[in-house]
Structure 1
Amino acid sequence: MAEVKNILLLGGTEDAVRLNQTLAGHPGAVLTTSLAGRTRKPAHLSGEIIVGGFGGEEGLRQFITVNHINLVIDASHPFADRITRNAFNACAAADIHFLRLQRPEWKHLPGDHWISVASVEEAVKKLNGFNRIFLSVGRQELAPFENCSNRYFLVRSIEKADFTPHESDVTFIQSRGPFLIEEEIRLLREQRIDLLVSKNSGGKATYAKIEAARALDIPVLMIERPALPDCVTYSEIDDLVAAIGF
């Protein structure tokens, strides 16, 4: 892939920001980065920026063709499975290279008390017996918890969240990682949390909450990642860039 020049980067993660800056430093790369538009204040990015998506798989295929894209790198969130599937199928239809950058998922370690579920909707059904719940799933995933009544919720998100569960109290924290384990332990203790609800997003920025739950013997309702297409995947930026041939 040494001749690759026109690159479409599907962003939305901290890894994508770092990859954008790495690729922007290569004179042979003509870089376009796509963002879904869910974050009001996206990180500074180099090259052309597209916000709002392409209109599904067919719209992405047309964009690839019209703009002579010959490599798509998917660095979207591990739970953005629709984006990944659309991109994978569009690249197959256009017969161009598709690579994915994906951080490793968190692994269950001794001392962890995980309750694994396949979706946010399934997580809602597992709240019985828990009264003080730390919802750390992102503001886009709060709606299924709206009908949970007579509980206390701690909600942390990067941007302001809209969440009004029935007959429940809510404390909002607007913050961005990385977080320290000492801070997370203090937070869980002060809020008297008896359940942490989290996606298995992986990465280091928010792993301290998992470590804190382990230290305090607090159960974690872990929403596992969706199945993604079988594609060439890298967990390290340097390895992916080397594979491109830069």
Structure 2
Amino acid sequence: MDVSPMDIAQTDTSPEHRPPHVLVLGGTTEARLLAGALHGRLRVTSSLAGRVARPVPLPGEVRIGGFGGAEGLERWLREHRVDALIDATHPFAGTISFNAARAATAAHVPLLALRRPSWVPVPGDDWHRAGSPAEAAGALRGLGRRVFLTTGRMGLAAFARPDLDDHWFLVRSVDAPDPGTPTPARMETLLDRGPFTLEGERELLRRHRLDVLVTKDSGGAATAPKLAAAREAGLPVVVISRPPVPDGVPVVTTPDEAARWLAQLSGGELSG
């Protein structure tokens, strides 16, 4: 981090004064890095949805679970005297982002979205854009029949359709699909967590004879090697586009930029 936590808020931490309270809606690498940079000078609470069974340890305070919609989040912001809210959730966690925008507006709390940059195709890529998991599933016919599906366990139902019963799926996710979740008729589940290596991804494609990759545009380096491996092998890649950030919410792409945003607030709204 380029910005020291000491620069973010020169706050009196004596009993008469409280340090500014920042709520980070997290679960991403960027959220963890930001919490680590702020911890020790500001009061940092990281909020996790609870969808991953064994989350990576985080510095500062941690809460797990939902808020109960925008109204519940607004109430939490007020009750816990939150001075700034940073939405550093996964780019595809769309519902919480819109709830955060409504709650921050209602509670008069400054809000920032921290989103890692999108992936962009390079020469040699054969990308096919899709607006949703359902659209990605519809695009598979004609592209390949042995599918490397890396969209996570939450969107598997979109690929459980009769016209794909003759396809085989290698499904990679951090946790196993929930019991009762509709899944593709023919699949194998690979439980793993990034970062992944190019050599490892090459081996997966070779060993399972995969001929098409489906991924969300998550961005970041941890899972990008699969794109390079697919490019080398000449495989088509179905890329699911991100949902939009709510209108009016400022967006930065790095924890450094988020820290600088907080530093600017320290002389105004974020005064402790």
Query: What corresponds to 1:142 in structure 2?
Result: 156
Taking the TM superposition and a 5 Å limit, the aligned residue runs for 1:97-108 are: 97-108=110-121
1:18 paired to 2:33 = yes
Letter of the aligned partner of 1:150 in structure 2?
Answer: D
The structure with more radius of gyration = 2
- Report if the CA contact (8 A) 1:34-1:50 is conserved: yes
For the 8 Å contact 1:71–1:98, the answer to whether it is kept is: yes
After TM superposition, give the deviation of residue 117 of structure 1 in Å.
0.6
Contact 2:169/2:186 (<8 A) preserved: yes
The one-letter code sitting in structure 2 at the alignment partner of 1:143 is: A
Aligned match of 1:178 in 195, 203, 206?
195
The residue aligned with 2:239 is 222
Report deviation, 1:172.
1.8
What are the residue-to-residue correspondences of 1:84-99 with 2, within 5 Å?
84-99=97-112
Tell me, yes or no, if the aligned pair for 1:149 and 1:165 is still in contact at 8 Å. Answer: no
Aligned to 2:136: 123
> Residue in 2 aligned with 1:169?
186
Alpha-carbon distance, 1:233 to partner? 1.5
Please say if 1:81 is aligned against 2:94: yes
- Whether the aligned pair in 2 keeps the contact of 1:178 and 1:204 (CA below 8 Å) is yes
Q: What's the % identity of the aligned pairs?
A: 41
The 2-side partners of 1:17 and 1:192 are apart by 36
> Distance between the aligned counterparts of 1:87 and 1:59, measured in 2?
10
Report deviation, 1:178. 1.1
Mapped partners of 1:137, 1:165: distance in 2? 13
TM-aligned CA deviation for residue 47 of structure 1: 2.3
Any idea what SS the aligned residue of 1:184 has? helix
Q: TM-score w.r.t. structure 2 length?
A: 0.84
Aligned residues: 243
TM-score, structure 1 length as denominator?
0.93
**Structure 2: stretches of 5+ with no match in the other structure:** 1-7, 12-18, 267-272
Give the match's secondary structure for 1:212. helix
Q: SS at 2:246's partner residue?
A: coil
Q: Structure 2 vs 1, CA of residues 46 and 165 (structure 1 numbering), >3 Å: closer, same or farther? A: closer
Q: Distance in 2 between matches of 1:32 and 1:165?
A: 35
Cα deviations by residue, 1:185-243 (Å, 9 ceiling, x for unpaired): 12112211111000000000000001111111100011000111132211111221122
Offset of 1:107 from its aligned partner?
0.4
Alignment match, 1:240 = 258
TM-align CA RMSD: 1.7
The one-letter amino acid paired with 2:243 is P
